[in-house]
Amino acid sequence: MKTAVLSGKGGAGKTMAAVNLAASLGCAVYVDCDVEEPNGHIFLKPEGEQQETVCVKVPTFDSDRCVGCRKCVDHCRFHALVFIKGKPMFFPEVCHGCGLCSLVCREGAVQEAERPIGVLKTGRSGNLTVVTGVLNEGEVSGVPLIEAALRSAKGEDVIIDGPPGSACNVMECVKGADVCLIVAEPTAFGLHNFLMVAELCRVLHKPHAVLLNKVTEPYEPMEEALRTLNIPVLGRLPYDATWARSLSDGQLLAAEDETVRALFRSIYDRLKEVAG
């Protein structure tokens, strides 16, 4: 089963839940798909990491063959090409790598090359396989890296640590999962962002459940939303200053504490029921 751990709001406890869930299962695959800010490795400390570069396709232009017909420029829907001094000028930051420019060129002047956007690291942490996508700073889209990370993660139990928000990078994680665990803070901010991710799961027809985190006092609007939407609550973790300090130091809670492992195993058992 592939589980995507999401939150909407940043800092709700996605990585905490994902690494401890993976560590509590014993033998599992943990995939860090928060490729802009990957942090799972800080807690899991993978060893013997193998690194692989992930590339996207970008066009290259042969100015000797180019006759300046500007077909490529006119067909590009992402404004990645501009016609200057009778030739196309290329802006790689906005290129989606769709390949249309090379298809429309009748002169064979547009070829394709590989451009690196980040790396995929694969290592071991005890019985866990740890896959980490790291996007190069300055790159706009981590989606191709997330796709590569999800492709390489093979195993019985795969835990996907997703990015915050609810945009295309999050959507990629939801699409690649069988079930989603949404970690939510019971606050006004937490509720608002939780509702957006829950809607994303619904739109993509993915079963989902919630884990409430940093609970200090009951927050009725959250409870009401969960009742109305009929989303199962798999746990309520209280705010714990000791946990906060341990997490700040990059400690894996499940490593030391059997009660934590039992807690996350029971959450995983309920997730299997939610997945159906």
Partner 1 sequence: MKKLLILSGKGGTGKTTTAAAFAAFSGARALADCDVDAPNLHLVLGRAETPVVSEFLGGDKAHIDADLCDRCGLCKDHCRFHAIEETNGGYAVNEFACEGCGVCAWVCPKMAVNLSTDVAGEKQLYRGDGVFSTARLKMGRGNSGKLVAEVKRDLYRNAGDADLAILDGSPGIGCPVIASVSGVDLILIVAEPSRSGLSDLMRLMKTARGLHVGLCVAVNKWDVSPDTTRAIEDLCRAEDVPFVGRVPYDGELAKAARGEGSMESLDSPGKQALYAVYENTMKLL
Of 176 and 235, which has the nearer Cβ to partner 1? Answer: 176
**H or E stretch covering 111:** strand 110-125
Answer whether 191's CB lies under 8 Å from 221's CB: yes
Q: Which stretch binds partner 1 (CB under 8 A): 92-100, 154-162, 218-226, 252-260?
A: 92-100
Written as six digits, the tokens of 150 are 């999800």
Note whether 247 binds partner 1 by CB under 8 A: yes
Q: Where are the alpha helices (DSSP H) in the chain?
A: 14-25, 40-44, 71-75, 100-104, 143-152, 168-175, 188-203, 220-229, 241-248, 253-256, 258-275
Q: Which stretch binds partner 1 (CB under 8 A): 2-10, 58-66, 150-158, 255-263?
A: 2-10
Among 5, 12, 263, 271, binds partner 1 (CB under 8 A): 12
Note whether 24 binds partner 1 by CB under 8 A: no
Of 165 and 186, which has the nearer Cβ to partner 1? Answer: 165
In whole angstroms, give the CA distance from residue 83 to residue 214: 54
Q: What is the radius of gyration, based on Cα positions, of the chain?
A: 22
Residue 83, strand partner residues? 88
Note whether 204 binds partner 1 by CB under 8 A: yes
Residues engaged in binding partner 1 (CB under 8 A): 7-12, 15, 34, 36-37, 39, 42, 57, 75, 77-78, 96-100, 103-104, 135, 137-142, 163-171, 175, 187-189, 192-193, 196, 199-200, 203-204, 244-245, 247-250
